[in-house]
Amino acid sequence: MDDRVPEDILIVVFGNVLAFESIEWPLPSYNKECARAPFTLAAVCSRWRHLVTQTSNLWSYFGFPSEETQHEKHLYRLELLITNSKNAPIDVVFNWRASSQCKFEDTPASFDIITKLHMMCPRWRYAEIEYKSDHLKCSLGSRQLHDFEAPFLESLVIIFRGHVPQLPKAPRLRQIFLDSDASDVSFISPLQHPSLVRLIIWSQKFTYSQPYCANHAQQLTYLCIIDDMYHSGNWEFPRLVSLTLDDPLFIDKITAPLIERLAINCSDLNNMSRDAVQHFAHRAPLLTHLVLWGTIRSLITLEPFKSTRTVVFQRPAAVTKAFGPARCYHLQPQVLEELNEREDDIVVWPNLERITFGQHSRSKGARCGIIVDDVLSFIETRNSGRVATAQVSVAADFPGSAALFGKHTDVVQTLS
């Protein structure tokens, strides 16, 4: 029956099976199915083996698991990938955290793997690399990454400990996730990366990266900055749509007239000036979506965001990448009271249409900070017509979500 299917149709089907998509960028990680797929298809029959080995883009996934063993096996697989992929663009996922404890001169296979992957930098389309910088020096020798040009590169996740190398010229590069303890990350130039629109920085010394953000301010539409910031002067982001800040205390220094989504850590809201928020909100008339995490004691400081229509209590994916799997937030009971009605007639977010209590941490000792009765009271009051109407969504793992769903099916939806 296989002989009846035209070869071009089979190749399209194979391509869909082997498609590598970073849906939750920057969280793709190693995909065992993608790594095994071309070998599995080639083992079905002689016709399939011929088609698969002759179609270079079916061998474009260069993913390696986070392990320090069986380097010889991975080196052999890499050589087959290089041969069969010919000159096709490739997706590289190389995350060997364990390698920081080994010496590459004592493991020739691992040294060869890193060297070969770097020498194929001109073919990178998606790249996620994580290891210490001295490993890079061992593999490249006298050559540097900036000596290469990566015309296909569109997405880059780079996690380094130590000196961060200058990146290759990549005219199509659209998004970068940088995690580094380097003292200088001003190595990315708008001239080298004119298409960059999404940037995530998690640097323990972010002060040194501020000039870089300023250089790209005119083109960025998505910006996420994780870690403490010490900034003087004003930033203008004329195209920015989404902003995530772990330290929002300098928010009044930012001008982003097109911003629609703001995600912030609320743990330091008590130290945040309401006037500063008012200043930012006045210059962000399109802001309708708030994502809040951390210890949330009060929302009065955020009251100036009067156009807010959607509020989500949950860490965004970019923050989870930096801080680990925990997605906790802690709401004090008075927060929901503030969203209902206040004696001094201050209405927090009068246009609120939807509030979501997202997934919370399952780690030991973590708790979401509110109980079912508090949410029920909020629903009943907020939907009474005295302030505004609001739809409430509760994550499936929220404590008591079954009770919520059962009692208020008209206004509560449980998220899958």
Per-residue pLDDT of 121-130, as tens digits, reads: 999 998 888 7
CA 65/CA 110 separation, integer angstroms = 12
Mean pLDDT, rounded, for 393-416: 58
Helix (H) or strand (E) segment spanning residue 10: helix 7-17
Looking at residue 257, its amino acid is P
Are 336 and 290 in contact by the 8 Å Cβ rule? The answer is no
Instruction: Kindly indicate the confidence band of residue 377, based on its pLDDT and cuts at 50, 70 and 90.
Output: confident
Question: What share of the chain has pLDDT > 90, as a percent?
Answer: 17
Q: Render pLDDT for 41-52 as a digit per residue (tens, 0 to 9).
A: 899 888 889 999
Q: What is the tens place of the pLDDT at every residue in 319-348?
A: 765 555 555 677 777 787 777 766 566 778
| Per-residue pLDDT at 204 exceeds 90 | no
- Report how far apart, in Å, the C-alpha atoms of 317 and of each of 162, 228, 394 are: 25, 19, 18
pLDDT of residue 103: 43
Share of the chain above pLDDT 70, in %: 66
Cα 89 from Cα 369, distance rounded (Å): 48
What's the average model confidence in pLDDT over 15-25?
Answer: 65
Distance CA 99, CA 96 (A): 5
Question: Is the pLDDT score of 3 beyond 90?
Answer: no
Distance CA 93, CA 110 (A): 15
Indicate if the pLDDT at residue 370 is higher than 50.
yes
Instruction: Please write the tens of the pLDDT for every residue from 154-190.
Output: 998 887 766 666 778 899 999 888 877 655 555 556 6
Distance CA 202, CA 159 (A): 9
Instruction: Label residue 109 by pLDDT band (50, 70, 90).
Output: confident
Whether residue 136 contacts residue 32, with contact meaning beta carbons closer than 8 Å, is answered with no
Nearest-angstrom CA–CA distance, 213 and 319: 18
Q: Helix or strand or coil: residue 311?
A: strand
Query: If DSSP codes are grouped into helix, strand and coil, which group holds residue 125?
Result: strand
Given a cut of 60, is residue 32 above it in pLDDT?
yes
Closest CA to 172 of 110, 129, 126: 126
Q: Give the burial string for 357-378 (b: 16+ CB within 10 Å, else e).
A: bbbbbeeeeeebbbebebbbeb
Across 56-65, 226-235, 263-272, the highest mean pLDDT is recorded for 56-65
How far apart are the C-alpha atoms of 128 and 88, rounded to whole Å? 18
- Mean pLDDT, residues 113-119: 85
Highest mean pLDDT: which range of 74-83, 208-217, 326-335, 354-363 = 74-83
What value does the mean pLDDT take over residues 64-86? 83
Neighbours of 389 (CB within 10 A): 11
Report the alpha-carbon distance of residue 390 to residue 310 in Å, rounded.
9
Residues near 202 by beta carbon (within 8 Å), at least 6 away in sequence: 177, 178, 179, 180, 226, 227, 321, 322
11 falls in which pLDDT band (50, 70, 90)? confident
**Confidence band for 242, pLDDT divided at 50, 70 and 90:** very high
Q: Tokens 């708008």 map to which residue?
A: 190
Give the model's pLDDT for residue 383.
64
- What pTM, to 2 d.p., does this model score? 0.81
Computed over every residue of the chain, the mean pLDDT equals 75
For the stretch 76-99, pLDDT in tens is 899 999 999 999 999 998 876 544
Beta bridge partners of 286: none
